[in-house]
Amino acid sequence: MIEVQEWKLEREKMVNEQIVRRGIDDPRVIDAMRAVPRHCFVEKIYHHQAYNDFPLPIGNGQTISQPYMVSKMTELLELQPGDHVLEIGTGSGYQTAILAYLSKIVYTIERIGELQRAAKQRLQNLGFTNVSYMIGDGTVGWTECAPFNAIMVTAGAPEIPDPLIKQLAEKGRLVIPVGGRSFQVLNFVRKQKSRIFREEVFECTFVPLVGRESWEDGA
């Protein structure tokens, strides 16, 4: 119980100092960040750093994003309880948990099977039952389950994959880092009356999005 209380205090500090203070004001997003235990999504050796404002390694050359980035990308999606969400890049499962907390169902795709299997176990251990999993190429989306009210891409692409645009529902929202392999700009997209409205949010750095509609592995 002492350890649990310690993590709650660390999480509260994270929310107050890294999220609310930096301008995140959606109360549902704040509640989700306060509720989901980030330390459960990293190896034990990183538990003491889990609530700091920087990414952490999760293996296979991938990272768990900093808390502020998670909260900002989530806030941009304007999630509602009935939304169907597509996530490209399951990673540790932390962002998946935040999305699942705020929506009806999350469809999450990860190309590295080892990462997704570990993430699925974590999410199930925490009681998340509204997540469907696929191991495969996220750049082509998940046609069978489309359209989606919201799509989040947690890796950087040279351009927005066309299949993801096509799988957005009317009034759907999408967030994705766009740019080079090591430096991008976070893009926000909204589909309105079949038209696409796009804006740049801020500069960021994500691991490359690998797949048929993005960077080729090893390129």
> Which are the catalytic amino acids?
65
Amino acid code (one letter) for 106: V
Specify whether the backbone of 82 is left (phi greater than 0), alpha (psi in -120 to 50) or beta.
alpha
Angle formed by the axes of helices 27-35 and 94-102, nearest 10°: 130
Report the b/e string of 41-76 with b at 16+ CB within 10 A: bbeeebbeebbeeebbebeeebbbbbbbbbbbbbbb
- Strand pairing report for 56-59 and 62-64: antiparallel
Q: Which of 29, 30, 40, 31 is nearest to 64 (CA)?
A: 40
Query: Would you state the torsion angle of the CA atoms of residues 81, 85, 91, 97, taken in this order, to the nearest 10 degrees?
Result: 10
